[in-house]
């Protein structure tokens, strides 16, 4: 588990690679959208977030276990992240966007990842 924020670009790159291979083109990190989604498909009005299991509290995932020290501090901090995520998701929905959350632990198997991305992007188009 890495505690360094922003270091986890590997899952993001895996998502971009698979998406690109499926033939979809996207923009990255559009600032004007709530939460700065990692991949933006403007024409489809869809966005993808790639979430680190620890930082974004992937519930039930072994990677989201809190460090043994300063448990209270981490609990508060990460709960703040989680609430901010929920708020951004609500704002996106209100603006007519649909979103997909891809967890870091889902990016390791390219076949699984491709299935997730494909069903999201093909849905309702």
Residue numbers of the site for Zn ion (CB under 5 A)?
53, 58, 61, 63, 103, 105
CB closer to Zn ion out of 41 and 103: 103
Rounded least distance, CB 25 to Zn ion, Å: 27
Rounded least distance, CB 85 to Zn ion, Å: 14
Q: Nearest-CA neighbor of 15 among 124, 125, 109, 119?
A: 109
CB closer to Zn ion out of 79 and 122: 79
CB closer to Zn ion out of 33 and 48: 48
What's the chain's length in residues? Answer: 125
C-alpha distance from residue 84 to each of 13, 78, 98, 110 (Å): 24, 10, 17, 29
Residue 125's H or E segment, with its range, is none
Rounded least distance, CB 87 to Zn ion, Å: 21
Tokens of 118: 């494909």
């Amino acid at each position: 588990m890495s505690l360094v924020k922003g270091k986890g670009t590997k899952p993001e790159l895996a998502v971009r690679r698979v998406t690109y291979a499926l033939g979809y083109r996207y923009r990255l990190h559009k600032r004007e959208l709530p939460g700065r989604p990692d991949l933006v498909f403007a024409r489809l009005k869809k966005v993808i977030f790639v979430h680190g299991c620890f930082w974004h509290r992937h519930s039930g995932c072994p990677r989201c276990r809190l460090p043994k020290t300063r448990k209270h501090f981490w609990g508060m901090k990460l709960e703040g992240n989680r609430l901010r995520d929920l708020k951004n998701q609500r704002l996106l929905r209100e603006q007519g966007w649909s979103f997909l959350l891809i967890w870091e632990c889902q990016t390791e198997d390219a076949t699984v990842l491709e299935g997730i991305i494909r069903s999201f992007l093909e849905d309702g188009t």
